[in-house]
Every structure is written in structure tokens, then in C-alpha cells.
Amino acid sequence: MNKRMLGSLEVSALGLGCMGMSPQYYGARDENESLQTLHYALDHGVTFWDTANVYGRGHNEELLAQVLKERREEVVLATKFGLVQKDGGVGVNGTPNYVKSSCEASLKRLGVDHIDLYYLHRVDQDTPIEETVGAMADLVKEGKIRHIGLSEVSGETLSKAFNVHSITAVQSEYSLWSRDIEESTFPACRELGVGIVPYSPLGRGFLTGEIRKFEDFAADDYRRGLPRFQGENFQVNLDIVSELERMAQDKGVKAAQLALAWVLAQGEDIVPIPGTSRRANLKTNIEAANIILSPHELNELNTLASKIKGTRYSEQSMRMTNL
């Protein structure tokens, strides 16, 4: 696996999103297969792992700890804080005290003495970003974290944060069908030398072609509640995936690989973190890192991406993105 740079942090060109290894979002999970997938990732050079304190309500970090206790030095470890249960929904807490208590809790669950890349999961609109990042900078001084990251921030917020402490990476949803960060966030990242970490680069699994009808989602799969997977939107987007599959077949690759290759082709400062809990899927993703796309193929994919229908989150959740 080749390497790429997120600011001053060297990571594998492809990361591993670990959220789906916990039974909170995509239905039941096979913990043994998840653990085997983590080892498979390291054995094949995928050393940049992404988790968060809210994934599985702490379970995800504890799961990773089982592998980290044996292979910590091989992993560039990223986790996140900031999302909290609030009034029956989800809120954000970026206060300095919460920054520090969350870090301590994650360190304990992960069984490590430092976190390589620590993200603010969402911007707390009631706490100035300068205060949140200032507290994160204190953690850097204490040696508890090595690098600071932000998630779902606008270029303006990134610039404010960068004035307090250097930011290594911005994590946001980015894929063929989620390109809103190109307008504000991309230019700011590139001006400041900040890396870009796309989550859900395969459209939450939809761009793999494995979903054919709404009923393919388990009853407790949270994608059922996302606008792109509902009603008319679902069929329009399914037709787009069919076209993606046709293009992939012409190239002799899988739809998922073509979609992932497109993300990787958007710049050397981009390190996608496709999520999976299965070795077979991870193998497919790794192979995508070797696919070269021609200018004509990139143009075709860009045209396809422009046809997507529906927002990526509910109206309430969209208000927490690109702040």
C-alpha cells in the first residue's frame, strides 16, 4: 500500500472506517470477522484506522483495543469526540472540559497512551471553535494526542481553527454523490496544507451495487431514514448505480472500485476511509488503489455524479454539516 500525507502525518493511501464493526448503524455484526478484518488490514498495509467515541457507544474503540494491544505500533489511530445524546436526539459538545474528559475516556477504552489524530466530530455552535481547538492543543502539549483534526467544517471555520493550532486533516463525507465540500472546504484545506479524509466514499455502501431495493436494508439499518434511500430518490439513485456498474464492467473492475478510484484521483492530499467489517470487501477496496482513470473516464464519472437526487442527511442533521 502506498503512503500519502495528511499535513505532516504520513498514512496509508487508503484508510479503514471502523464504524460498521459495531451493531449500532448497519444491523448485527460478526465480531470475530471484524477482528480478522482489522488484522487483514494491517497485514496488507492499511494502517490508518478511524473510529469515534460514539460508535457503538464506546464498543468500537473497545473492539479496536483487542488488536491494538498486540499491534499498536503498526497503526495510525484516529478517533473523534463531540457528538452527545441530547434531549432525545444528538447534540454537540465542544467545551474545553468535555474535550479533555472525552480524550481520557477514549484513551482508556482504546488501551493506548496517545491518539495519533483526534477529531472534533461536529462543530459546537455554542462554543467558539478557538476554545475547542485550544483545549485540543493542550492535549498535544500533554502528549495525549499527536495531531488535531476537524470534521464537517467550512473553510471559514477551518481558517479560524488553524489560527489557534495547525490542523492536520478535515474529515467530511465525500464521494461521487457527495461533493458539497468542494466549494468551501477544499480550497481552504489546500491553501493551509490540510489533508482531506473522505468518509463514506462509497455512498454508504450504495455505490457498491449490493443494494437493489429498499427492503435490502435491515429493519434497524439507519440508512432507511436518509433521504437518498427513500421514495423516488431511491430509484433515481439506483439507476445511477446501474450506469456506474456498466462503466465498471467496461473497465473490468467492480462498481465499488471505480467509485473509490475516482475519490483517490481527486488529489494526493486525499485519503478515503471506506468502512467495512469484512475481509472480502477490504480486499476489493485495496485493489481499487491501483486503478488509473483516464481524463475521459473522470469526465464520465463527474457527469454521472451530477444526477444524484436527495440530501445526504435529514434536514436536522444537515444543519450540523459544513459549519
Task: List the catalytic residues.
Answer: 55
**How many residues in total does the chain contain?**
323
Does the CA dihedral 213-253-26-119 come out positive or negative?
Answer: negative
Q: Which segments of the chain are extended strands (E)?
A: 3-6, 9-12, 15-17, 48-50, 76-81, 83-86, 89-92, 115-120, 145-151, 169-173, 195-199
SS3 call for 53: coil
Cα 76 from chain centroid?
A: 14
Look up cell 474545553; give the residue.
96
DSSP annotation of 143 reads T
Question: In this structure, are residues 259 and 274 in contact, taking their beta carbons and an 8 Å threshold?
Answer: no
Q: Phi, psi (5° rounding) for residue 4? A: -135, 165
Distance CA 93, CA 98 (A): 7
Q: Which cell is 181 given?
A: 465540500
> Tell me, what amino acid is at 82?
G
C-alpha span between 208 and 214 (Å, rounded): 15
- Structural contact between residues 237 and 228, judged by C-beta atoms closer than 8 angstroms: yes
Count, in order, helices (H) and strands (E) of the chain.
11, 11
